[in-house]
Amino acid sequence: MILVMFGPPGAGKGTQAQLIQKVLGLVQLSTGDMLRAAKNAGTAIGLKAKEAMESGQLVTDEIVVGIIADRISEDDCKNGFILDGFPRTVAQAEALDKMLTEKGLKLSHVIEMEVDDVVIVERVSGRFTCASCNEGYHDSFKPTKVEGTCDECGGTEFIRRPDDNAETVSSRLKAYHEQTAPLLPYYKEQGVLRTVDGMASIDEVSRQINEVLTV
């Protein structure tokens, strides 16, 4: 199964991809996580991506398409994968279709999480992730069960993203509406678009996604 998690910043793409990964064993491929890792490692790609990420702009199609092309050719992707945050432009979607066709593969579902812009700032400003295993949390909506300890791995260090501030979030939202939302008719036309209510609770969104996946 090949899935695309689709939605604005803070919609819950990463949260739901992690849940699907645990249940179905599909690998989560987050271009945001991969770019942050490249930036932290100081690689050439990371340095090129840094400025765009910090200002809430999109990184170039060439960079992200290259990253995904390499990643989906790895062994752990052969039983399927979840694309989280890719594609984000029509050019990326066309490049993905071409890569999949060349491998004899096809997208199963594009899961759109519909969320109003007004809740986005609240979602991203409360977000933190485990520094060891990358499990995602939220101060109010998904706190750790034991304060200061990761539910998944017991880690005690957490990270907050530098682009999770109100100013950068508004640029990220603008980029979403101008460059990414135009992909919705593209996928509707292909018959793979499934829309769920991203405003609902994490558990309810997960239930709606499971319904899509079992149809």
Does residue 123 have an active-site annotation? no
Other Cβ atoms less than 10 A from the Cβ of 26: the count is 20
Residues that bind Mg ion (CB under 5 A): 14
Q: State the greatest distance between any 2 C-alpha atoms of the chain, in Å, as a whole number.
A: 48
Instruction: Report the residue number, 14 or 56, with the smaller CB distance to Mg ion.
Output: 14
Q: How far is the CB of 215 from ligand AP5 (least distance, A)?
A: 21
Could you tell me which stretch among 21-29, 99-107, 130-138, 182-190 binds ligand AP5 (CB under 6 A)? Answer: 130-138
Does residue 161 have an active-site annotation? yes
Instruction: Report the residue number, 101 or 201, with the smaller CB distance to ligand AP5.
Output: 201
Check residue 53 for interaction with ligand AP5 (CB under 6 A): yes
* Choice from 90, 132, 141, 181 touching ligand AP5 (CB under 6 A): 141
Instruction: Report the residue number, 109 or 138, with the smaller CB distance to ligand AP5.
Output: 138
User: So which residues are the catalytic ones?
Assistant: 13, 88, 127, 161, 172
- Sites of contact with ligand AP5 (CB under 6 A): 7, 9-15, 31-32, 35, 52-53, 56-59, 64, 85-86, 88, 92, 123-124, 126-127, 136-138, 141-142, 172, 200-202, 205
